[in-house]
Structure 1
Amino acid sequence: MSAYTRLHALLVDDDPMAQVCRDLPESACRAQPRNYGVHIVSLGLTKVGEGLADPKLVLAWLLDAIGTPTWALGLLVPVRESLAMLPQLAISARIRQLAIRKTVYVFGCLVQGAAIIGFGFMGWLAQMFSGTVAGIVAVLLIAVFALGRSLSSISHKDVLGKTVDRGRRGSVSGTAGTVAALVTLLLALAYSMGWIALTVPVVSGMVALGGLCWLLAAFVFGSIREEPGATEGGIDGLAAVIAQLGLLRSNAPLRRLIVTRALLLSSALAPPFYIALSGDSTVSGLGTLGPFMIASASASLVSAYVWGRLADRSSRRVLMLAATLTALANAIAAFLALAMPQLLGGSLLLPALLFVLMIAHQGVRLGRSVHVVDMADRDSRATYTALSNSVVGLILLAGGIFGVIAQWLGIGAVLAIFTLMAALAIRAAAGLDEVQDA
């Protein structure tokens, strides 16, 4: 029995010699125990890479430390998120033409790893760049990274649906997320306690190490045993965009899922405002962000696997519960910001609320990922994933408006809006189908 098969037996508690699959052909079912382990190891490596090179914290600190302008820092997350989602409508049509799709994921990991290693080298060679040039290079690198992420995102869900049976897919992401969260938590503690020096060369080395994790993930994923998929029916270019956008009119379950995802962006957009509320004015002081990093990593550690297992039972209920937690955390933060701001400076209230919010965000990510895979059949997974990600990517482009609202009306008003969005998401998620019962 291989190490991958033993990992499957440990986490799923199944006899690998008595596989019974609901959603896989017999040949793919026999290979499932090994493929399950490959998925966890490869996905875990990419998530460790994300922890070592978090754009919201680590890359932003690195760019600020080498003197890049503020506009470059502000573009990191929007460029990363939108370019990771928007190209997927066109990409899904291309992927449809490939019988074996794991190569797309492998290529996407290689692109992401190369871009992150580029960030590490840029930190080491910072003295060769002016601040403006460094900012331009950084935005270009994060754009390349996002395009690689786009390839990996859509292809991974498709290969996951072809190699792991319904009822086990959530635990793949959950287990990988738990392992990566533990590594990120140790890193956050090391930064906070001074065990790892907060210098440009050291942080650049950690970022480059994160890039190497993606390269290793590509190597591991290349060993997965994937059955050829259907290739007929794919279309390209503008025709693909028009045809797939028609699903928004004709496919009510998919439309409800996209609405739910859009409303739950409140869990992803709120954390920077929590940090702003803390009164931390030292932009490059990563050490002062230690409690927030610890809160975020701890939330992933304690919740990722649990959310994954719950999503295998009912992704609909996971999204409802995650929306409830999001509304609760944002409502308390909004109340404190508007009514008792004196309690926020220097206290652990905001990191504690961020802990709850990031637990909710893990539920959002796992719940919507499992839901879109389980609601689709083998031939429509790539299309559903691409369409939902592209629509949400367009919405994310407008996310900068919340910064303007915060400037005009205050952060409390923005958090109140996020609370309302999450409350509406509870109702939207309640209208989703119980796809795990299909």
Structure 2
Amino acid sequence: MTTPIQSAYEEITGATEDVRAREARNGVRHMLSLSMTKVADGLIDPKLVLSWLAGALGAPAALIGLLVPIREAGALLPQIVMAGWVESMTHRKWAWVMGSFGQGVAALAIVGIALTMTEAAAGVALCAALAVLAVSRAACSVSYKDILGKTVQKTRRGAVTGVAGSVASIAVLVFAGLLISGLLRDVLPVVVAIGLAALLWVGAALLFSRLEEKASDETRDTTIDFTPLKEDAQFRMFILVRGLLTVTALAPPYFVMLGGGQSALQGLGALLLASAAAAFVSSYIWGRFSDRSARKVLFASGLMASIFAALAVAAEVVGWAKSVWVIPLILFFFMLSYQGVRSARSVYLVDMSPGDARSSYAALANTAIGVLLLLTGALGGVLALVGPVASLIGFAALSLVGGLLALRLNEVEQD
């Protein structure tokens, strides 16, 4: 029986008890599904795990170098094409389900490649499988913000994604600890980890298929609207800020290069440990701060990334970089800034986007970022010809500019 207080609440907010119960169930499904996929991401990380695996299989360095660009650009550039398809769907969760399932299939293909192929053939096959994984991820990315906006209230979205990041990082911490311990000394344990990632993606797809999503309008125009890029100055500024702050994703391998004396596997473990620990201690906190002011989190994260990239350069200059703990410690704080950027950019884009145009906004933003990421990655590669210090100096400057420009973004009003 509905009480007078409940009736008054429902009249004011429009949220019935059934709606609130559905949001609670959906929130759990979001957190569990995201946790599973984030663990999978950590176990198969192309910047670290796949690059190490390709090297262990004897793949040429040129092919190993293609892995990160394929993963990053492949996950972003197709979104402009996919957005119309997603917006034409009555229930958009199915785009995410198919994307998660596709990533699981691609990961299983990588397992098969690792067990049956070597050298150049393995490198080519890994690049092909990773391309499938990246395009599948694009389907998840372009649809997720819209699904999140439809199924979770604005002031809870950052918390949902933040909890998922913190929970998932525990598993990656364990994996990193095993790598550093020296217990994992050949290819097979890493292949098993990638197989586990495949199962997690498939499991997440099955769970997310049970999301209770309200049907969308089937009659909308499904062509991509480029008007926001022409008329929305804040949207253009957001793209510029996010583009500059992509360096927080590109910089970590250069920190490992400063470690010099560590073996490839130890370097992999150290980077995974720093990344997972940073995610564990900060994802939920950044999510809550992003709910209050995502633009201020972007500013703080950009400034923080700039400071710790500069500290890594200073450590190299004074000869401290070869110490066992100096670079991992600096990297940990740098990865805190990376987590801040990840949380704030997602929350800000969802909050600033008009209702049913979220998929179009996400697609336009991610396609632009895909291009900027390739340009920034190329800049880092050119600077790396001089050395990792030059790359980190460039990344520090770009992070600082991105953080300062974030202050020019408007504060998005809360519902």
Please indicate, yes or no, whether the TM-score normalized by the shorter chain is above 0.5: yes
Indicate if the aligned counterparts of 1:29 and 1:165 stay in contact, CA closer than 8 A.
Answer: no
Q: Distance in 1 between matches of 2:12 and 2:353?
A: 16
- From 67, 88, 98, the counterpart of 1:107: 98
Q: Distance in 1 between matches of 2:165 and 2:367?
A: 24
Indicate if the aligned counterparts of 1:308 and 1:367 stay in contact, CA closer than 8 A.
Answer: yes
Code of the residue aligned with 2:197 in structure 1: it is G
- Equivalent residue number for residue 380 of structure 1: 357
Confirm whether residue 294 of structure 1 aligns to residue 273 of structure 2. yes
Q: Distance in 1 between matches of 2:355 and 2:16?
A: 11
Code of the residue aligned with 2:167 in structure 1: it is V
- Equivalent residue number for residue 326 of structure 2: 349
Identical counterparts, % of pairs: 36
Code of the residue aligned with 1:217 in structure 2: it is A
- Partner deviation per Cα, 1:209-262 (whole Å, 9 max, x = no partner): 1111000000000000000113334244xxx3xx42x42220111111101101
- From 368, 374, 382, the counterpart of 1:404: 382
Q: Note the 1:23-422 alignment, pairs <5 A.
A: 28-125=19-116, 129-195=117-183, 197-236=184-223, 240=224, 243-244=225-226, 246-280=227-261, 282=263, 285-337=264-316, 339-340=317-318, 342-398=319-375, 399-407=377-385, 409-422=386-399
Indicate if the aligned counterparts of 1:29 and 1:163 stay in contact, CA closer than 8 A.
Answer: no
- Partner deviation per Cα, 1:312-346 (whole Å, 9 max, x = no partner): 11111111111111111111122333x32x22113
- Equivalent residue number for residue 7 of structure 1: none
Cα shift at 1:20: 9.6
Q: Which runs of 5+ in 2 are unaligned?
A: 1-5
Indicate if the aligned counterparts of 2:294 and 2:345 stay in contact, CA closer than 8 A.
Answer: yes
Cα shift at 1:287: 2.8
Code of the residue aligned with 1:294 in structure 2: it is L
- Partner deviation per Cα, 1:140-195 (whole Å, 9 max, x = no partner): 00100000000001111111000000100001110010011111001111221134
Q: Which runs of 5+ in 1 are unaligned?
A: 1-14
- Equivalent residue number for residue 412 of structure 2: 435
Indicate if the aligned counterparts of 1:322 and 1:363 stay in contact, CA closer than 8 A.
Answer: yes
* SS of residue matched to 2:219: coil
Indicate if the aligned counterparts of 2:155 and 2:414 stay in contact, CA closer than 8 A.
Answer: no
Indicate if the aligned counterparts of 1:97 and 1:231 stay in contact, CA closer than 8 A.
Answer: yes
Indicate if the aligned counterparts of 2:155 and 2:291 stay in contact, CA closer than 8 A.
Answer: yes
Cα shift at 1:24: 7.8
Q: Distance in 1 between matches of 2:359 and 2:114?
A: 37
User: Aligned pair in 2 of structure 1 residues 194, 130: CA closer, same or farther (>3 Å)?
Assistant: closer
Indicate if the aligned counterparts of 1:316 and 1:429 stay in contact, CA closer than 8 A.
Answer: yes
- Equivalent residue number for residue 6 of structure 1: none
Indicate if the aligned counterparts of 1:41 and 1:176 stay in contact, CA closer than 8 A.
Answer: yes
Indicate if the aligned counterparts of 2:179 and 2:268 stay in contact, CA closer than 8 A.
Answer: no
Q: CA RMSD in A?
A: 2.2
* SS of residue matched to 1:228: coil
User: Aligned pair in 2 of structure 1 residues 21, 188: CA closer, same or farther (>3 Å)?
Assistant: farther
Cα shift at 1:28: 4.8
Indicate if the aligned counterparts of 1:112 and 1:144 stay in contact, CA closer than 8 A.
Answer: yes
Q: Distance in 1 between matches of 2:27 and 2:302?
A: 29
Cα shift at 1:352: 1.0
Code of the residue aligned with 2:380 in structure 1: it is F
- The TM-score with structure 2 as length reference comes to 0.93
User: Aligned pair in 2 of structure 1 residues 335, 119: CA closer, same or farther (>3 Å)?
Assistant: same
Indicate if the aligned counterparts of 1:188 and 1:293 stay in contact, CA closer than 8 A.
Answer: yes
Cα shift at 1:278: 1.2
Indicate if the aligned counterparts of 1:181 and 1:298 stay in contact, CA closer than 8 A.
Answer: yes
Q: Distance in 2 between matches of 1:233 and 1:26?
A: 30
Q: Distance in 2 between matches of 1:257 and 1:286?
A: 37
Q: Distance in 2 between matches of 1:132 and 1:368?
A: 38
Q: Distance in 2 between matches of 1:20 and 1:205?
A: 53
User: Aligned pair in 2 of structure 1 residues 47, 92: CA closer, same or farther (>3 Å)?
Assistant: same
Q: Distance in 2 between matches of 1:247 and 1:146?
A: 26
Cα shift at 1:288: 4.2
User: Aligned pair in 2 of structure 1 residues 22, 232: CA closer, same or farther (>3 Å)?
Assistant: farther
Q: Distance in 1 between matches of 2:210 and 2:280?
A: 27
Indicate if the aligned counterparts of 2:256 and 2:267 stay in contact, CA closer than 8 A.
Answer: no
- Equivalent residue number for residue 3 of structure 2: none
Q: Distance in 1 between matches of 2:364 and 2:373?
A: 14
Q: Distance in 1 between matches of 2:241 and 2:169?
A: 26
Q: Distance in 2 between matches of 1:19 and 1:179?
A: 33
Code of the residue aligned with 1:258 in structure 2: it is I
Q: How many residues align?
A: 408
Cα shift at 1:365: 0.5
Cα shift at 1:31: 1.4
User: Aligned pair in 2 of structure 1 residues 20, 416: CA closer, same or farther (>3 Å)?
Assistant: farther
Q: Distance in 2 between matches of 1:227 and 1:120?
A: 37
User: Aligned pair in 2 of structure 1 residues 91, 29: CA closer, same or farther (>3 Å)?
Assistant: farther
Indicate if the aligned counterparts of 2:158 and 2:288 stay in contact, CA closer than 8 A.
Answer: yes
